[in-house]
Structure 1
Amino acid sequence: MALKIRTHLFSYLALLGAFISPHASARVTDIGLKCNDIPKALTVDHVWGGTRVAFDALENKGFIYIAYYDADRWLSVAQVDKCSGTEKKIRIPSRFEGWDAHNSITLAFDNLNRLHVSGNMHVSPLVYARMDTSDQLSGLDRVRSMVGQDETQATYPYFFRFGDGSLGFAYRSGHSGDGVELINRLVGSGWVRWTSTPVFAPASEKNHVNAYHTEFLLGPDGFFHVAWVWREDYAVETNFNVNYAKSKDLRTWENSSGKILPLPITPKSAEVVDFIPERSGLLNNIRLGFDGAGRPVISYLKFDASGATQLFHARRDEAGWKSVAATRWTYRWDPRGGGTIVGEIGFSGVRQHDGQLIEQVHQPEINSKTFVYDTDSLKLMEVRDPVHDDVTSTIAHRQGPAGMVLSLRNVRTGGTAAGPSDSHVISWFSRPADNRDKSRKCTTAAEPCNYVSELILSTIRSSSESRN
Structure 2
Amino acid sequence: MRRFTSSLRTIAAEVASLLTATSATVFIGPTAVLAAAPTVSQSSTTTLTSSGRTAVSYSGLMNGESFQQDGITTFNGWQYAAFWDQSGYANISRRQGGTGSWQNVRLTDYQTTSTDSHNVICIGISPQDGSIHLAFDMHSNRLKYRRSATGLATSPGSANWAAGSFGTVQNSLGGQNFSQLTYPQFFAAADGTLQMAIRTGVSGNGDEVLFEYRSGSWSYIGEFIDGTSSDNNAYLFGIEYDSGGLLHATWTVRETSNGSSNHDIYYAYSSDKGRNWRNNAGTVIATTGSNPLASSATGLRVWPNSQNRGLMNQESQVVDAAGVVHVLASHLPANTPSITDFNTARNSVVLVHYWREKASKEWKQRYLNYTEGLSRGDIAVDSHDNLYVVSGHSGTNVLQIATASKASGWTDWTVRNRSAANYMSDPLIDHARLKSQNVLSIYAPRRGGSQIEVQNWNTTGG
TM-score, with length taken from structure 1 = 0.66
2:121 matched to 1:105?
yes
Unpaired stretches in structure 1, ≥5 consecutive residues = 1-14, 21-39, 334-341, 433-452, 462-468
2:225 corresponds in structure 1 to: 200
2:276 to 252, 255, 260: 252
Amino acid at match of 1:253: W
Shift of 1:75: 2.1
The correspondence of residues 213-292 of structure 1 with structure 2, limited to 5 A, is 213-248=236-271, 249-262=273-286, 263-270=291-298, 271-290=300-319
2:146 to 126, 129, 132: 129
Cα 1:332/1:41, change in 2 over 3 Å? closer
Shift of 1:289: 3.7
SS of the equivalent of 1:158 reads strand
Question: What is the alpha-carbon distance in structure 2 between the residues aligned to residue 372 and residue 224 of structure 1?
Answer: 24
SS of the equivalent of 2:264 reads strand
SS of the equivalent of 2:124 reads strand
Give CA deviations for 1:296-319 in whole Å, capped at 9, x if unaligned.
244433431123645253535888
Amino acid at match of 2:125: F
The two structures, once aligned, show a CA RMSD in angstroms of: 4.4
Question: What is the alpha-carbon distance in structure 1 between the residues aligned to residue 385 and residue 443 of structure 2?
Answer: 30
2:82 to 67, 92, 96: 67
Shift of 1:208: 0.3
Tell me, yes or no, if the aligned pair for 1:81 and 1:87 is still in contact at 8 Å: no
Amino acid at match of 2:193: S
2:235 corresponds in structure 1 to: 212
Cα 1:123/1:273, change in 2 over 3 Å? same
1:53 corresponds in structure 2 to: 62
SS of the equivalent of 2:260 reads helix
Tell me, yes or no, if the aligned pair for 1:216 and 1:224 is still in contact at 8 Å: yes
Unpaired stretches in structure 2, ≥5 consecutive residues = 1-38, 65-70, 153-158, 338-347
Give CA deviations for 1:341-374 in whole Å, capped at 9, x if unaligned.
x31xx44347467575564566779973525378
SS of the equivalent of 1:237 reads helix
Question: What is the alpha-carbon distance in structure 2 between the residues aligned to residue 209 and residue 243 of structure 1?
Answer: 14
**In terms of Rg, which structure is larger?**
1
Amino acid at match of 1:200: I
Amino acid at match of 2:266: N
Question: What is the alpha-carbon distance in structure 2 between the residues aligned to residue 323 and residue 243 of structure 1?
Answer: 13
SS of the equivalent of 2:139 reads coil
Give CA deviations for 1:369-392 in whole Å, capped at 9, x if unaligned.
5253787876x4453323x9xxx9
SS of the equivalent of 2:169 reads coil
Give CA deviations for 1:92-133 in whole Å, capped at 9, x if unaligned.
533221321111111233232222211111111111111235
Tell me, yes or no, if the aligned pair for 1:288 and 1:297 is still in contact at 8 Å: yes
Q: Greater share of helix residues, 1 or 2?
A: 2
Give CA deviations for 1:149-204 in whole Å, capped at 9, x if unaligned.
1432111112110231121122111111111111111121211012x3x1111235
2:18 corresponds in structure 1 to: none
Aligned length: 376
Amino acid at match of 1:71: Q
SS of the equivalent of 1:250 reads coil
Question: What is the alpha-carbon distance in structure 2 between the residues aligned to residue 372 and residue 149 of structure 1?
Answer: 43
Q: Percent identity?
A: 17
Amino acid at match of 1:159: F
Question: What is the alpha-carbon distance in structure 2 between the residues aligned to residue 350 and residue 428 of structure 1?
Answer: 19
1:383 corresponds in structure 2 to: 414
Tell me, yes or no, if the aligned pair for 2:252 and 2:265 is still in contact at 8 Å: yes
Give CA deviations for 1:369-422 in whole Å, capped at 9, x if unaligned.
5253787876x4453323x9xxx9xxx89x9xxxx85987667769xxxx9899
Question: What is the alpha-carbon distance in structure 2 between the residues aligned to residue 355 and residue 81 of structure 1?
Answer: 25
Question: What is the alpha-carbon distance in structure 1 between the residues aligned to residue 414 and residue 455 of structure 2?
Answer: 30
Question: What is the alpha-carbon distance in structure 2 between the residues aligned to residue 154 and residue 63 of structure 1?
Answer: 30
Cα 1:16/1:54, change in 2 over 3 Å? farther
Most deviating of 71-80 and 223-232: 71-80
2:134 matched to 1:117?
yes
Cα 1:89/1:357, change in 2 over 3 Å? closer
1:27 corresponds in structure 2 to: none
Greater relative contact order, per chain length (Cα 8 Å cut-off, separation 6+): 1
2:325 to 252, 274, 296: 296
Cα 1:267/1:385, change in 2 over 3 Å? same
Cα 1:347/1:107, change in 2 over 3 Å? closer
Amino acid at match of 2:188: R
2:212 matched to 1:185?
yes
